[in-house]
Structure 1
Amino acid sequence: MESVKPQKDEELERAMALMPRNGSKGEVKEVGGEPDDDYDPHLYRKVPHPTSNFESLAHLLKGCLGTGILAMHEAFHNSGWLSGVVNMAIIGFICTYCFHILVRTQYILCKQYRVPLLSYPQSMKLALQQGPRAVKWISPAAVPITDGFLIIYQLGVCICYLVFVAKNVEDILHSYGVEISLTKVMLFMFLPLLGINLLRNLKVLAPLSTLANIVTFIGLGVVLYYVFQDLPPLSERPMFGPIEKFPLYFGTVLFALEAVGVVIALENNMKTPKSFGSRFGVLNVGMTLVTIMYGFVGFFGYLKYGADSKDSISLNIPKGLIPDITRGLFTFAIFISYGLQCYVPISIIWDNYVSEKVKSSRHSTRYQLILRIVITIFTFMVAAAVPELGLFISLFGAFCLSILGLAFPALMELCVLYPDKLGKLNWVMWKDIGLIIFAMIGLVSGTYSSLRNIIATFQ
């Protein structure tokens, strides 16, 4: 996942000082509209290498395709095939709609405060400052709260990557008669992954990201070849799964579909950002393709393997040279992507909470390396303690992305349009409250179900 590097608060303060002396927010023409002044944030963004619509679409697909798509067949096992297909479309629509809300609301805030762009945490803070009294008091803590969810989610992705790599390596070794425990596999992985995580230059990691995506698509094609061999009749699979397992489905799908950091980064770096959220723009086209791909893999993967569905579909394909090469490709792709995933939480923690305190120290570089080592050790310890890929995917999807991808965008829109731009009969307010309630139900039920199953692994 990519993320926008946060602005320093001092820069934001200087930008806000350019606002009119009376502190006016600026009028909004209509619900979801733009302030009436002539300031257009898009015209003031200085992007060294802006991306085209096609490049942005490719990046969106790349940002959404990861371990989530390999767990879709297990998600469908928790929901049933009919419920899985229908709810995949519903959740995909809601996620896309909330992305639109987020992008539109950030644009309004940029116009109001006359800045080219704002980070997600800063947007949250500014939105809460002008919201109802019931939420305004939270605004001073908005930045660390939002950063906290982003950090937890990204660390969760890193943990999922570690479990995925270790399980696939263990499976490959077992197929050749090498008996080794999952914990020992992780120990052998530690030093190479620590080396990747100690690379501080993102440009060094960029070619690895491109290579990882090529390898992932090749591996997915091979997996689908095996999936379509001797498919059983649809009647052998239930249309609906047990209701108590649906929260696990919800968390897994949300983990797979939500790419809030990618969406913000892409819109901020586009050559023509206005086309990002248009009817047939990058966001709608990209999310439609991603939703269809996830539904396709989930449906046919579950149809093929049913109750035998494992954490990753790469573990379900048969033994043999070609399947082992395929598992190796997936493992290699996720292995080299670990550093990219760790880059985001390290960047947030270092830039926002550590660098200012140690910038005068001659040991600043050493402190950053220590931070990278600590984060690597932490992710390894959690992965080794509970090596349950599917449960981790569901847990972090339900806990973090219900908030970051659904609740926070709705709350931001509600605050920015409050009190007199909420539409006829305040329909925007009721719609946003509905999205927040939906997100909270998903968060509580998905987190509870995942934690309950994780705890059960210790018993």
Structure 2
Amino acid sequence: MNRTTGSEESDEFDTSSTVQMLNTHGTLLTTREANEHTTTRLETLMHLFKGNVGTGLLALPLAIYHGGWVLGPIMLLVMALMATHCMHMLVKASQHLCVLAGCSNLDYGEVGTATLEHYGSPWFRKHAQLGSKLVNLFIIVTQFGFCCAYFVFIGANIYEVMVEYLDDDSTLHKMLIQDPHNSQRVIMSILVIPFCALSSIRNLDHLAPFSAVANLATGISVAFIFSYLIPHSQDTSEFPKVQSFKNFALFFGAACFSFEGISVVLPLENNIDKPEDFPFVLNIGMCFVTVLYITMGVLGYRTFGDSICGSVTLNLPEGGLYSATKILYSCVIFISFAVQFYVPITFLWPAFKDKFCPSTAHPVRNELFFRYVLVALTGGMAILIPDLGDIISLVGALASSMLALILPPLIDSIILRHNQPLRKWQYVLVLTKNAMICCFGVMGMVVGTIISMEQLITDLSPSKNTNSSCVQANSSSFDMYQHFNVWDHQFPESDYFL
């Protein structure tokens, strides 16, 4: 891989040819081009799209509800720009630190360690491993939070389809409708088996064909969802333009959760065959993702209003087309699980192997067993907290905000402080920009986590009212919910009993 600083040394490195770099001990490192598992620009774009478009996309109507139909889309665009900019800062920092460390690539945690090693105070340089431990901790929480949400999402959608198509007089149908929550838990426990089979794929390039199929399925599913949202979009005159501060904290968590790709960025950049093309691929991918986010969030909220669910698919009416959409998007999320699960495995398994099984005759078998145990634990956590909205808000506020909005500007500022090629006013401007992004992330993280925890405790409380505002579009309860909430002005009281 080619890592240059853009200085006079750049003449010694041809970024378009195969180059080998020397580390500090003079050992030749394997080049990017020599890696048999590199990905092309198209494959990288597919992985980037798949890493960002998951359950978070379908939760954005709920996020817009929490933010308000005016403030919500504006802040979603602002957060998309900040998140994309932070991705670029992270990639830039990785490339810079690779040159200093004399290595071919760094993951997110190694970027944290290298930053402290080269630019930290004497104490931090001595304890530089704290950087990777901190980053990896938040990555573990974020990625497994995503995977938990995937379990809940697929379980809820399969449940709705089963209830719709099973014979009303069948024993299974009666069991499902008698205890919906425990029925979904059973479905999630069964899902552990296919998820284990998917997690057996150990290389990103082997996932590329699956990502291609999943991207096609995503396009079809989103088109079906829009085919319902666009003609059924409602008047927003009675919708709150700006929600309360407490609701906005939930918006922050759901919005941060939707930007699922921050932890996937460096693994993708490390695997692309031409790293100089990655910024362009990142910009193209995130532009499309941002447009899709805002469109889905606004149309979903305009259509379902206060009755919006944690996933907009759960609001879709019964019928063959929309049931197919639920199943198809569940398949998309199933493939996304492999991409998100790949990230923590890249550093969890090597650490576990070195400590517990350094010399074994069956390394692949042990790794697969390790993966299966993690999948089972993830499914267990999903079963314990089966509310999709709670998982999304909590994971987004607690962990995604740290990775997406707080750490990248901090790392960039530390590196910039010791490398000031800019004029003083430019340097101050960049530091101010980084500080604003970081402060926004910290505020959202603290407040969002507190509010999300309160919401989770309330939802898990035995005394909580079991009635939910989340209902399907073609049910009678949905019609009544519309009448008694945001559409009161359209249906006079005397009309209720006509």
The TM-score range, normalised by the shorter chain, is 0.7 to 0.9
1:100 to 88, 92, 104: 88
Q: In 2 relative to 1, CA 53–340 (structure 1 residues): closer, same or farther, beyond 3 Å?
A: closer
User: Counterparts of 1:135 and 1:301 in 2: how far apart (Å)?
Assistant: 50
Counterpart of 1:150? 139
Task: Give the alignment of 1:352-391 within 5 angstroms.
Answer: 352-355=351-354, 357-362=356-361, 364-391=363-390
User: Counterparts of 2:211 and 2:377 in 1: how far apart (Å)?
Assistant: 23
1:208 to 210, 215, 222: 210
Match for 1:228: what amino acid?
Answer: I
Task: Give the alignment of 1:37-116 within 5 angstroms.
Answer: 37-38=9-10, 40=13, 42=15, 44=19, 45-47=31-33, 48=36, 53=41, 55-116=43-104
Task: Give the alignment of 1:327-342 within 5 angstroms.
Answer: 327-342=326-341
Deviation at 1:232, TM superposition (A): 1.5
Task: Give the alignment of 1:264-279 within 5 angstroms.
Answer: 264-277=266-279
User: Counterparts of 1:211 and 1:312 in 2: how far apart (Å)?
Assistant: 22
Counterpart of 1:307? 306
Counterpart of 1:292? 291
Moved more, 74-83 or 224-233: 224-233
* 3-state secondary structure, aligned to 2:9: coil
Counterpart of 1:440? 442
Q: In 2 relative to 1, CA 256–415 (structure 1 residues): closer, same or farther, beyond 3 Å?
A: same
Q: Deviations over 1:305-352 (max 9, x none)?
A: 010100111111111122111111112222344344323323321123
* 3-state secondary structure, aligned to 2:460: coil
Q: In 2 relative to 1, CA 197–282 (structure 1 residues): closer, same or farther, beyond 3 Å?
A: closer
Counterpart of 2:198? 196
Moved more, 237-246 or 178-187: 178-187
Identity %: 31
* 3-state secondary structure, aligned to 1:276: helix
Counterpart of 1:396? 395
* 3-state secondary structure, aligned to 2:119: coil
* 3-state secondary structure, aligned to 1:360: coil
Moved more, 428-437 or 298-307: 428-437
Q: In 2 relative to 1, CA 51–188 (structure 1 residues): closer, same or farther, beyond 3 Å?
A: closer
Counterpart of 1:29? none
* 3-state secondary structure, aligned to 1:264: helix
Contact kept in structure 1, 2:51 and 2:260, CA below 8 Å = no
Moved more, 353-362 or 89-98: 353-362
Unaligned 5+ segments in structure 1 are: 1-6, 8-25, 27-32
Question: Does 1:407 find its partner at 2:409?
Answer: no
* 3-state secondary structure, aligned to 2:186: helix
User: Counterparts of 1:298 and 1:342 in 2: how far apart (Å)?
Assistant: 26
* 3-state secondary structure, aligned to 1:457: helix
User: Counterparts of 2:291 and 2:73 in 1: how far apart (Å)?
Assistant: 9
User: Counterparts of 1:402 and 1:414 in 2: how far apart (Å)?
Assistant: 18
Deviation at 1:255, TM superposition (A): 1.7
User: Counterparts of 1:46 and 1:365 in 2: how far apart (Å)?
Assistant: 24
Contact kept in structure 2, 1:80 and 1:237, CA below 8 Å = yes
Contact kept in structure 1, 2:196 and 2:372, CA below 8 Å = yes
Counterpart of 1:22? none
Moved more, 148-157 or 123-132: 123-132
Q: In 2 relative to 1, CA 275–128 (structure 1 residues): closer, same or farther, beyond 3 Å?
A: same
Contact kept in structure 2, 1:125 and 1:140, CA below 8 Å = yes
Moved more, 381-390 or 432-441: 432-441
Counterpart of 1:164? 153
Deviation at 1:201, TM superposition (A): 5.8
Counterpart of 1:351? 350
User: Counterparts of 1:49 and 1:382 in 2: how far apart (Å)?
Assistant: 32
Q: In 2 relative to 1, CA 290–357 (structure 1 residues): closer, same or farther, beyond 3 Å?
A: same
* 3-state secondary structure, aligned to 2:233: coil
Deviation at 1:59, TM superposition (A): 3.7
Number of corresponding residues: 428
Contact kept in structure 1, 2:401 and 2:441, CA below 8 Å = yes
Q: Deviations over 1:131-170 (max 9, x none)?
A: 3539835523112222222222111111010000100011
Moved more, 121-130 or 356-365: 356-365
Match for 1:437: what amino acid?
Answer: C
Higher RCO, 1 or 2 (CA under 8 Å, sep at least 6)?
1
Q: Deviations over 1:236-261 (max 9, x none)?
A: 32211222011221122122124123
Q: In 2 relative to 1, CA 204–34 (structure 1 residues): closer, same or farther, beyond 3 Å?
A: closer
Deviation at 1:49, TM superposition (A): 6.7
Moved more, 97-106 or 163-172: 97-106
- How does the TM-score come out when normalised to structure 2? 0.78
1:451 to 426, 450, 453: 453
Contact kept in structure 2, 1:346 and 1:371, CA below 8 Å = no
Counterpart of 1:262? 264
